[in-house]
Amino acid sequence: MKSSPGYFYNTVGNLGRFVLTFFNACKEMCYLYTRSLWSVLRSTIFWHNTINEMNFIGVNSVPLVAIISTFTGMVISLQVGQIFADFGVSSQLGNVLAVAFGRELAPVLTGVVVAGRVGSSIAAEIGSMKVTEQIDALKTLSADPIDYLVAPKLLAAFLMMPLLTIVSNILGMAGGFMVAVHQKAVTAVAFFESIASYITPWNFIGGLIKAFFFGLVVAGVGAYKGLHTENGAVGVGTATTQSVVTGTIYIFILNYFLTIILY
């Protein structure tokens, strides 16, 4: 069967359909972003919902980001500290941690946490509102679902991701610092001197710029998957899972290209 023309056309057909679906999704996500921007600029966005979302996305994510970042910083200090000690360059630990966290780990770890916690809940909330006709009910009461749901979540993620990334930077460095000082016999002075001599503010600013994009991607994917939910409760489950998987993949791919552009 595999060599028959039917199989060939089928494969081409499936590929074609996949490409079409992908471009349709891109087109619709662009619409979500531009329409949300419009919603903010014209202030038709529901500000009250935005505040609630900022609380949920930002404040409630702090504990998870804090734990993950602290322990990642600590483990890097342990591993890299050993190698550096063997080469007699332990004092450079601060420098390495600052590069690792400032440029990559803080935005990416925070992005993954937010994709898992926030992207999924955005997809679940919007998806269950879709299948229980609440999205339609919003429209009949002349509240645009973009103004009411999508724009507040996008704006909140856009604003809170960099703040969470700052938290991640601080705690990741602090975790690394503690291990360096207490277990790797690096002096505090040497730790900070190595940062001061190599690290520029751009090291951290670039990471925060990444965070803005990751916030938009995660919330945008969640909203898109939610709005396209069909098939009742099963569909809500599928949309939720897909939003985490897709959001996380996009973060890692986008991160590579942002690193090329920013550093």
Partner 1 sequence: MISIHELGFDIDGKTILRDINLEVAPGTTMVIMGPSGCGKSTLLRLVCGLAKPTRGRVLISGKDVQSLTPAEHRSIGMVFQSSALFDSLSVYENVAFGLRRDKTYRPAEIEVRVREGLARVGLPEEDLLQKMPADLSGGMKKRVAIARTLAANPQVILYDEPTNGLDPIMAMTINKLIRSLQRDLGVTSLVVTHDLTTARHVGDHFGMMLDGALVETGTFDQILKSKHPVIRQFLNVS
Which parts of 104-133 interact with partner 1 (CB under 8 A)?
125, 128-129, 132-133
Among 3, 43, 142, 200, binds partner 1 (CB under 8 A): 142
Question: Smaller CB distance to partner 1: residue 49 or 238?
Answer: 49
Distances (CA, A) of 71 to 41, 97, 177, 263: 40, 13, 11, 26
Among 64, 78, 143, 205, binds partner 1 (CB under 8 A): 143
Contact flag: residue 231 with partner 1 (CB under 8 A) = no
Nearest distance, CB of residue 49 and partner 1, angstroms: 9
176, 74 contact by CB (below 8 A): yes
Distances (CA, A) of 256 to 96, 99, 250: 19, 15, 10
Cβ-in-10-Å burial (0-12, 13-18, 19+) of 170 comes to middle
Contact flag: residue 134 with partner 1 (CB under 8 A) = yes
Distances (CA, A) of 83 to 72, 89, 165, 169, 177: 17, 9, 27, 23, 16
Contact flag: residue 43 with partner 1 (CB under 8 A) = no
Question: Smaller CB distance to partner 1: residue 17 or 139?
Answer: 139
The footprint of partner 1 on this chain (CB under 8 A) covers a number of residues equal to 14
Contact flag: residue 139 with partner 1 (CB under 8 A) = yes
Nearest distance, CB of residue 62 and partner 1, angstroms: 22
Question: Smaller CB distance to partner 1: residue 8 or 31?
Answer: 31
CA distance 42 to 263: 35
123, 243 contact by CB (below 8 A): yes
Largest CA distance in the chain: 71
Question: Smaller CB distance to partner 1: residue 3 or 140?
Answer: 140
Contact flag: residue 182 with partner 1 (CB under 8 A) = no
Q: Kindly state the DSSP code that residue 42 receives in the 8-state scheme.
A: T
Question: Smaller CB distance to partner 1: residue 71 or 133?
Answer: 133
Identity of residue 255? N
Contact flag: residue 137 with partner 1 (CB under 8 A) = yes
Among 30, 51, 60, 136, binds partner 1 (CB under 8 A): 136
Question: Smaller CB distance to partner 1: residue 102 or 152?
Answer: 152
Nearest distance, CB of residue 58 and partner 1, angstroms: 18
- Nearest Cα to 165, choosing from 199, 117, 200, 209? 209
CA distance 56 to 232: 25
Nearest distance, CB of residue 29 and partner 1, angstroms: 22
Q: Where along the sequence are the contacts to partner 1 (CB under 8 A)?
A: 125, 128-129, 132-134, 136-143
